[in-house]
Structures are given as C-alpha cells and as structure tokens.
C-alpha cells in the first residue's frame, strides 16, 4: 500500500479514514450534490482500487525481494515526483516546504513510518501473508481511533467504544486462529496509523506531491545504498533480469504516486464520510486477491475473527455516518443559545 500507502486513516474522533501511503484531507466540501460527486467518487475508486490490487503488481516483480522492491519504489517515486513537479511548475512550493526545518523533520518521521509499512506489506504479500496484510488495513481505522485516545486525548463516543471492544475481541480470536499474535496485521495497522497521526500534524502546510517528494528524498540515500549493496553482493535483480524487469521496478514509482494524486482529487471533491466509506475498497480487494489468486487458506476460526473485525467496522461506519447529523444538531443548539 502499501502506499503506501499522504493520507491517513480515520482521524480518531472525526469521520475520515484512509489507506496506505495515503493522505488525510484536512477539510472537505460542505455537501456537494450528486452530479458534482461523480468525478470525486471515480477518483476515489481509482485510488483505492490501485492500492487494493497492488499485491498483483508485486507478483510480477518476482524474483525481486521485498527489500529491493521497497528501495526501488522509493527511488523511482522521487524521480516521478520530480517529473510531476516540473510539468506542474510546482518546484517553488516544494522548495519553500523544504526550507521549513520543523516541517522536514516531521515528514522525515512520516517517511520512516511509511517505509516500515511498505516493507512489511511487501514481505507479507511475497511470503504467503496477503490475507493478514489485508487484515492490517481493515483494522487500521480502529487503530486510528485508539491512537486518538492515547496520543490526542480524544474522548470516544458510545458507538466508538463498542467498535473498539469488538475489535479487541477480534484480535484475540485471530491470535488464537493464527496460533500467535497477528504481528503483520498489527505492524501494518500501527505503522500506517502513526503515519496518519504524524501527517495530521502537518495539516495543510504542504501539498500531497511536495510531501511525497520530501518523504522519498529523505529515504532515497538509504534506498540507493541498499540497491548498490544488493548489486555488489549479486543479490539484486534490477540490472540482471533484463530491461522488462527493470522497467517494471521503475514503474513502481508511478504506481506509488498516481493513487496519491487520485486520492487528493477525491478528497477535494467529496465529503469526508464518503472518503471514509471508499477506503474499505482497498483491503477488500487485497482480501479477494489473497484468496482467489494467491490461494491463501481461511479456516473457520479466521473467518470468525474477520467477521468480528467487519462488525466493528460496521459499527464505526454507523457512528461516522451520524457525524453530519450530530454537527447540524450542535450548530442548531449553538444558534438557539
């Protein structure tokens, strides 16, 4: 997602979630009508569909391993961002953001978190844990709510408490089903949840492309070093498996940036509640791919655990959809008072 993977998930006590490497919009149009919603919905579906089908892309990158894939993804994302900034004539905005040391420090922390997320996701997909990777992104909204309580001291509404309780039971059931703690899912959920929390602190100080440019620029020296080391030790595939393989790895930069651009376009056009609903498309597609293409097994006890996760998400979504109505009531009460 990896994504992944600018765009955090469900800001804890608010109404939006997101997916891997994906930004969370700080604001949204008040309530666009159905006609104006259509482009935003199409952009949102495009973003989450690409993220959801990313495991299939990793499949064609074999024999490259997860470390090489992530290193290539970082380097070529930076290259593609450079091309985009040139075409869009946006270098000045990026340079301005890069001169803000505090902002760069925050984005550097975000970069480390998203790199950990990408590496875990790549490893999971290539090592028979694609179902567990999908689980990580399913429980990500619950983790975002938990982080909001712990870090931001936000208060939970009753339905959020219920969702958190059901989610906790789900993790226990899945732990019994796997015979161990579902570490892959938890690492993915918490790394992306923390990434979202850090990016929330950035707010609107930097646009999505500039943010991704700075994040990948921070990671690129390490990524280049890793690629050089892999080449020198004979472990790299980027230069030894023909031009088609090289360009497939290079395309990973585009596969990282394009859904991010689509997400930004969707977030500007849609209410946060709609974006929050669309975000479940990515792990759903990952789950289907894991079962039908990768032929991963799902014994009954895992279905039970996933069922509880989905129940928790339904409860959380009901609470989220009630947000606009709560806001109208509060505004009316304030006006009356």
Domain residue ranges in the chain: 36-141+178-299
pTM to 2 decimal places: 0.81
According to the model, what pLDDT value does residue 277 have? 78
Choice among 30-44, 81-95, 252-266 with the minimum mean pLDDT = 30-44
Q: Between 218 and 153, whose confidence is greater?
A: 218
Please tell me the distance from the alpha carbon of residue 89 to that of residue 176, in angstroms, as a whole number: 53
Residues 142-160, mean pLDDT to the nearest whole number: 87
Residues 35-47, mean pLDDT to the nearest whole number: 83
**In the Cβ-directed half-sphere of 79, how many Cα atoms lie within 13 Å?**
15
Please tell me the distance from the alpha carbon of residue 248 to that of residue 242, in angstroms, as a whole number: 10
Q: Percentage of residues in the chain with pLDDT exceeding 70?
A: 84
Please tell me the distance from the alpha carbon of residue 254 to that of residue 79, in angstroms, as a whole number: 9
Residues 287-302, mean pLDDT to the nearest whole number: 93
Contact 185, 135 (CB under 8 A): yes
Indicate if the pLDDT at residue 254 is higher than 50.
Answer: yes
Both tokens of residue 71? 């290193």
According to the model, what pLDDT value does residue 15 have? 38
Selection from 269-278, 295-304, 326-335 with the highest mean pLDDT: 295-304
Indicate if the pLDDT at residue 4 is higher than 50.
Answer: no
Query: How sure is the predictor about 101, in pLDDT bands with cuts at 50, 70 and 90?
Result: very high
Selection from 146-150, 221-225, 299-303, 317-321 with the highest mean pLDDT: 221-225
Please tell me the distance from the alpha carbon of residue 98 to that of residue 52, in angstroms, as a whole number: 31
What would the 3-class secondary structure string for the chain be? Answer: CECECCCCCCCCCCCCCCCCCCCCCCCCCCCCCHHHHHHHHHHHHHHHHHHHHHHHHHHHHCCCCHHHHHHHHHHHHHHHHHHHHHHHCCHHHHHHHHCCHHHHHHHHHHHHHHHHHHHHHHHHHHCCCHHHHHHHHHHHHHHHHHHHHHCCCCCCCHHHHHHHHHHHHHHHHHHHHHCCCCHHHHHHHHHHHHHHHHHHHHCCCCCHHHHHHHHHHHHHHHHHHHHHHHHHCCCCCCCCCHHHHHHHHHHHHHHHHHHHHHHHHHHHHCCHHHHHHHCCHHHHHHHHHHHHCCCCCCCHHHHHHHHHHHHHHHHHHHHHHCHHHHHHHHHHHHHHC
pLDDT tens digits along 193-227 = 899 888 888 877 888 889 999 999 999 999 999 99
Residues 43-62, mean pLDDT to the nearest whole number: 93
Average pLDDT, the chain: 84
Residues 239-252, mean pLDDT to the nearest whole number: 95
According to the model, what pLDDT value does residue 119 have? 97
Cβ neighbors of 83 (< 8 A, separation 6 or more) are none
Query: How sure is the predictor about 322, in pLDDT bands with cuts at 50, 70 and 90?
Result: confident
Sign of CA dihedral 165, 286, 294, 191: negative
Using only C-alpha atoms, the chain has a radius of gyration, in whole angstroms, of: 20
Tokens 């340079």 found at: 95
């Amino acid at each position: 997602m990896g994504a992944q993977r600018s765009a955090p998930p469900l800001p804890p006590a608010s109404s939006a979630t997101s997916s891997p490497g994906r930004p969370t919009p700080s604001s949204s149009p008040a309530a666009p009508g159905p006609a104006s919603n259509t482009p935003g919905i199409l952009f949102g579906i495009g973003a989450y569909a690409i993220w959801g089908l990313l495991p299939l892309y990793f499949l064609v990158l074999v024999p490259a391993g997860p470390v090489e894939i992530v290193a290539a993804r970082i380097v070529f994302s930076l290259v593609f961002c450079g091309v985009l900034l040139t075409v869009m004539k946006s270098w000045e905005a990026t340079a301005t953001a890069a001169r803000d040391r505090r902002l760069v420090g925050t984005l550097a922390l975000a970069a480390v978190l998203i790199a950990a997320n990408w590496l875990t996701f790549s490893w999971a997909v290539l090592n028979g844990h694609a179902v567990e990777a999908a689980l990580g992104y399913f429980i990500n909204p619950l983790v975002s709510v938990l982080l909001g309580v712990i870090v931001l001291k936000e208060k939970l509404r009753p339905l959020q408490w219920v969702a958190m309780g059901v989610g906790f039971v789900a993790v226990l059931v899945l732990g019994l089903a796997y015979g161990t703690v579902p570490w892959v899912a938890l690492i993915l959920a918490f790394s992306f949840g923390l990434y979202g929390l850090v990016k929330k602190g950035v707010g609107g100080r930097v646009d999505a492309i500039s943010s991704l440019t700075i994040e990948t620029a921070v990671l690129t020296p390490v990524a280049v070093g890793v690629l050089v080391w892999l080449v020198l030790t004979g472990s790299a595939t980027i230069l030894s498996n023909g031009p088609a393989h090289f360009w497939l790895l290079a395309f990973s930069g585009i596969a990282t940036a394009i859904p991010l651009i689509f997400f930004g376009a969707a977030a500007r056009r849609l209410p946060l509640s709609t974006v929050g609903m669309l975000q479940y498309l990515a792990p759903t597609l990952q789950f289907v791919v894991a079962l039908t293409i990768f032929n991963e097994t799902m014994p009954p006890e895992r279905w039970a655990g996933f069922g509880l996760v989905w129940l928790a998400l339904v409860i959380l979504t009901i609470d989220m959809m009630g947000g606009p109505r709560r806001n109208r009531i509060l505004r009316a009460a304030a006006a009356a008072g």
